[in-house]
Amino acid sequence: MNTHFHAIIPAGGSGTRLWPLSRKASPKFLHDVLGTGRSLIQSTWDRVAPLVGTEKVWVVTGQNHRDQVAEQLPEISVDNILAEPSPKDSAAAIGLATMLIAKEDPDAIVGSFSADHSITNVDEFRLVIDQACVAAETGDIVTVGIMPRNPATAYGYIETGDLLGLKGAPTARRALAFAEKPAASTARAYVNSGRYRWNAGMFIAKAAALLEVLETEDPTLFAGLSRIAEAWGTDAQAQVLAEVWPGLEKRAIDYVVAEPAAAAGRVIVIPGDFGWDDVGDFDSVARLRQPVAGEPAGVISIGQNCDLLEIDASDVVFSESKQPRTVAIVGLDDLVVVDTEDVLLITSRSHAQDVKKAVSAAGERGLEDLL
């Protein structure tokens, strides 16, 4: 274990494609959507804490979720839970955490690991991150590129170059470019070429190197975060945070750091094949969720306060309300049913990506209590 390695877990967003299970007040990372007995953020903690030690795990989340995160992660220091007044995307979240870590440990290496991903082969994941830490010692930004299972259009891609021959990181390659979520034909071309990997949004780098790129590419954001970091832990923290945070630009770390660094030849890719998924929608939940004893074949049930009557149905994802209820599903396949106290969602797995459109429609109609 690298003694200077720190893990950052950005825990933001409302997971609109998993609505109505995931809400602003209770986002998907706080739920055990995969039937493992641990929420998504707890599973992330279980993966990364052994890599760095519990005192070096940092979570960045919304102010409204700070207490929930602290309750779910009792081993974390409350000082390591950074509460955002409002969502500002990953550049601000990771940038602030990196600055605070660098104040404590100028030689720090930071790794960013999303709170809502699924990884099935944890041992392989840790071997990949070990290589990433070695590669980060070069001063470049390191990312993990997932071996594509299929020509997915829901993920961004990384074009990879030649092996670098790094001692201690034998699979490290140069990242040539980042690509946005592609059309189906482009995705097929990417996968068939063998040069592209899925972008899992994991970044590992020396804190100083990441902050150097951030300052160069977005000096305004860097200056604002620096003001907040300087006041952090002092009597002025709340005042400075309230003054500066609302004016910060909302940008993703990919655009601010990863893509410009790749264009400058300063990004390294460590290929990974460890059962990664971003648990983005109910189709992925149906594919990834652990089977539960007593469930009908092909039916996945989220929740225990329901009597489910299934007749010739399959591929059902079900989330129950708090009140006892009987739900009957007859002769339907490719189905998603999500039943909560105030919303009943019925869709198909093939349209799982479109659930977020229902959230947008609810917002446009002023149904804020459903969001």
Angstrom distances, CA of residue 296 to CA of 6, 258, 328: 43, 45, 12
- Cβ contacts of 274 within 8 Å, gap of 6 or more: 119, 120, 121, 122, 124, 125, 128
Query: Higher pLDDT residue, 32 or 92?
Result: 92
Kindly report the backbone phi and psi dihedral angles of residue 358, in degrees, each rounded to the nearest multiple of 5, phi listed first.
-65, -35
Do residues 86 and 12 lie in contact, with contact meaning Cβ atoms separated by under 8 Å?
A: no
Do residues 293 and 41 lie in contact, with contact meaning Cβ atoms separated by under 8 Å?
A: no
Give yes or no for residue 299 having a pLDDT over 60.
no
Do residues 167 and 152 lie in contact, with contact meaning Cβ atoms separated by under 8 Å?
A: no
Please tell me the predicted confidence (pLDDT) of residue 327: 80
Give yes or no for residue 328 having a pLDDT over 70.
yes
Rounded Cα distance between 331 and 352, Å, is: 20
pLDDT digits (tens, 9 = 90+) for 239-278: 999 999 999 999 999 899 988 998 899 999 999 999 898 8
Question: Reduced to 3 states, what is the DSSP secondary structure of residue 110?
Answer: strand
Please tell me the predicted confidence (pLDDT) of residue 24: 86
- Cβ contacts of 366 within 8 Å, gap of 6 or more: none
Rounded Cα distance between 246 and 88, Å, is: 9
Among 38-42, 94-98, 365-369, the least confident range: 365-369
| Long-range Cβ contacts of 229-235 (<8 Å, 24+ apart) | 229/96, 229/99, 229/100, 229/103, 232/100, 232/103
Q: How high is the mean pLDDT of the chain?
A: 88
Please tell me the predicted confidence (pLDDT) of residue 95: 94
Give yes or no for residue 301 having a pLDDT over 60.
no
Mean pLDDT, residues 9-36: 85
Please tell me the predicted confidence (pLDDT) of residue 171: 94
Do residues 39 and 72 lie in contact, with contact meaning Cβ atoms separated by under 8 Å?
A: yes
Please tell me the predicted confidence (pLDDT) of residue 371: 81
Please tell me the predicted confidence (pLDDT) of residue 125: 95
pLDDT digits (tens, 9 = 90+) for 333-363: 888 888 888 888 888 888 888 888 988 898 8
pLDDT digits (tens, 9 = 90+) for 272-295: 999 898 888 888 888 887 666 555
Give yes or no for residue 298 having a pLDDT over 60.
no
Give yes or no for residue 300 having a pLDDT over 80.
no
pLDDT digits (tens, 9 = 90+) for 201-227: 999 999 999 999 999 999 999 999 999
pLDDT digits (tens, 9 = 90+) for 95-152: 999 999 999 999 999 999 999 999 999 999 999 999 999 999 999 999 999 999 889 8
pLDDT digits (tens, 9 = 90+) for 59-73: 999 988 999 999 999
Question: Reduced to 3 states, what is the DSSP secondary structure of residue 148?
Answer: coil
User: pLDDT band at 1, cuts 50/70/90?
Assistant: low
Please tell me the predicted confidence (pLDDT) of residue 13: 73
pLDDT digits (tens, 9 = 90+) for 174-193: 999 888 888 899 999 999 99
Please tell me the predicted confidence (pLDDT) of residue 343: 85
pLDDT digits (tens, 9 = 90+) for 143-174: 999 999 889 888 889 999 999 999 999 999 99
Report pTM.
0.90
Do residues 325 and 309 lie in contact, with contact meaning Cβ atoms separated by under 8 Å?
A: no
What letter represents residue 72's amino acid?
A: Q
